[in-house]
Amino acid sequence: YNEARNPGSREARIVDDITRANGEGPNTKANLSRVIAKKKEMLRLVDERETSREDRKRFVKENQMFELNRQGFYRNLQDKTADSEAPAEEVRRYWQQLWTEKEDDCAQQDRLLETITPICAHEEMSIDKEAFMQAITKTGDWKAPGRTRVYGFFVKRITALHEEIFRHAETIIRGQVEAPVWYSRGTTVMIPKDEKKLADPTALRPITCMPVLYKIVNKYVAATVKNMVESKKKKKNEGREPHNLPRRNHCHQAGA
């Protein structure tokens, strides 16, 4: 930059052209710094897009190999070994502190439960069989199945089970029976954010894999609640001016 400070120098004119071309005005140190920052951000975005593109290509290739050459897929997995592993006891101790329920948290929950009254507690939820069957067909084929090790691919295609699944799910949703322990119990897998920091428990990302039946029921309940909310909002907003209508809120589902 020192060589470009002389207004009459060739370097100054080049820098001035660059700053003006990037919408930062004449050649000043502040303008040049902003241009440099912009270019660095552009390079970072280009690098991220390239990395994302390579990841997608690798993902598609691995999926195709999983479908067409299962033996080769698992052989490649065996060849990918980490040089180090996170110490299991240290990882357990660290995440246990975050996940263990504290007494203060329990007191806070009790206080909230005493003051919040369910709005629709008096209404009985009708179980739409057709909508439930749609929830089954929309379940992901190969998403992690959890402790049951049953993939959605098989549940979707063994149609003889669908009636029985609906019957059991209906009794659980209505509260007629208590859901079995395995139904809402998942398997948590710790995924490293950075392969160079495998020994650091804080650099791990927990992913909880729930059973496919939990995902189906949860998908159905989420869609039903969303429809109930939108129906009530529609009745409440009848006769109101369009510009006074509240923005649409979506009900998000967990474990889908």
Cβ neighbors of 130 (< 8 A, separation 6 or more) are none
Quote the pLDDT of residue 3: 45
Task: Map out the domains of the chain as residue ranges.
Answer: 2-79, 88-238
Highest mean pLDDT among 45-49, 65-69, 230-234, 239-243: 45-49
Give the residue, 8 or 154, on which the prediction is more confident: 154
The confidence band for 251, taking pLDDT boundaries of 50, 70 and 90, is very low
**In 3D, which of 146, 110, 132, 151 has the Cα closest to residue 220?**
132
Residue 229: φ, ψ to 5°: -65, -45
Cβ count near 66 (within 10 Å): 13
Give the closest residue to 184 by CA, choosing from 227, 221, 238.
221
Q: Locate tokens 């980490």: which residue?
A: 82
Question: In 10 A of CB 15, how many CB atoms?
Answer: 21
Q: Which residue has the higher pLDDT, 112 or 171?
A: 171
Cα separation, 53 vs 243, whole angstroms: 42
Q: Which two tokens stand for residue 181?
A: 């322990």
What is the tens place of the pLDDT at every residue in 118-141?
Answer: 555 555 667 889 999 999 998 888
- Span 189-229, pLDDT tens digits: 888 777 777 778 888 888 888 999 999 998 898 888 888 88
Q: Which helix (H) or strand (E) holds 209?
A: strand 204-209
| CA torsion through residues 20, 24, 29, 34, sign | negative
